[in-house]
Structures are given as C-alpha cells and as structure tokens.
Amino acid sequence: MTGDEPADTSIELTADAGSLRVHEGTGGIQALGDDDVASIHQTIDDEILLRRQISFRSTRAEPLSGPGGIRAEGELTLVDRTEPIEFELAIADDGTVSATAVVKQSAWGMKPYSALFGALKVADDVEVVLAGHLQARQSL
C-alpha cells in the first residue's frame, strides 16, 4: 500500500513455501544434478519449511534515492517464527518487482540442509530472490 508520505507506505507479502526452488548451487566439488535438486526441493518442502505459508510485513518502507526503488524493513515469518529482515525492492515502470535478501537459516531456528554425510551442504546464509508483479489492493 502506498501513501502520500513515506510513513504511509507499507508492504505485505505472502508466499506458498512450496513455491521456493533452488536455482543455483556454488562452491561444491561438482554441480548439482537433477536428482540432487529434486531431493533438496523435497526436503525443503517436507522437513525444513513444512509447507507452511511464508509472510513478510513491513515496519518501515521508504523510497530509495533514484527511480523505482523502496528500502523495506520488517518482519519475516518462516515456519511460525518471526524475525526482522531488511532489503531493497526494485519496481519497474510496468509494475514488475524484484528483490534479493539474505536469510540466515539459524536465525529462524532452521538447521541448514546437509546430505551425503555432509558432502552436500547448504550454507547458513541463503540468498533469496523475489520476482513478481504489483497488484492493486481492492477495497471492500
């Protein structure tokens, strides 16, 4: 929701935890195979995020200096635990929205994914990329 003043602007996001997908793995001895990616997705859904809704609600949102951006601070809820987070949101003229945030899994009480006796690990800090499109809120 945007207002005439920066203090009147707020951001809310809800996402299906099953919509998160691994797109890249770096730093390993070998690239992730299709079976590795499928296993990681299954583990994320069933054991880490437990198919629970993800939500973000801003406590502060202000325009960046320059066109089409907002600096957002707020609370992110993952697996029923809420912690503070901040990130920058880019907004294109056509309403396309993109953002990148780093989520430290242990801050939400999650143990980073590990398989193959520790040979395959996900770092505690995970970069999450958001891409979407603005939707006008309808009033009742």
Query: Considering only CA atoms, which of 60, 80, 55, 82 is closest in space to residue 70?
Result: 60
122 or 139: whose pLDDT is higher?
122
In CATH, 6-133 is 2.60.40.420: no
Which tens digits make up the pLDDT trace of 38-89? 888 888 888 888 888 999 999 999 888 877 788 999 999 998 899 999 999 9
Distance separating alpha carbons of residues 44 and 127, to the nearest angstrom: 15
In the block, residue with structure tokens 């437990």: 50
117 or 123: whose pLDDT is higher?
123
> Which range scores top for mean pLDDT: 21-30, 67-76, 129-138?
67-76
Q: Is the pLDDT of residue 140 over 60?
A: no
Query: Considering only CA atoms, which of 64, 63, 91, 87 is closest in space to residue 74?
Result: 87
Q: Decide if 35 contacts 73 (C-beta within 8 A).
A: no
Mean residue pLDDT across the chain:
82
Q: Decide if 57 contacts 74 (C-beta within 8 A).
A: yes
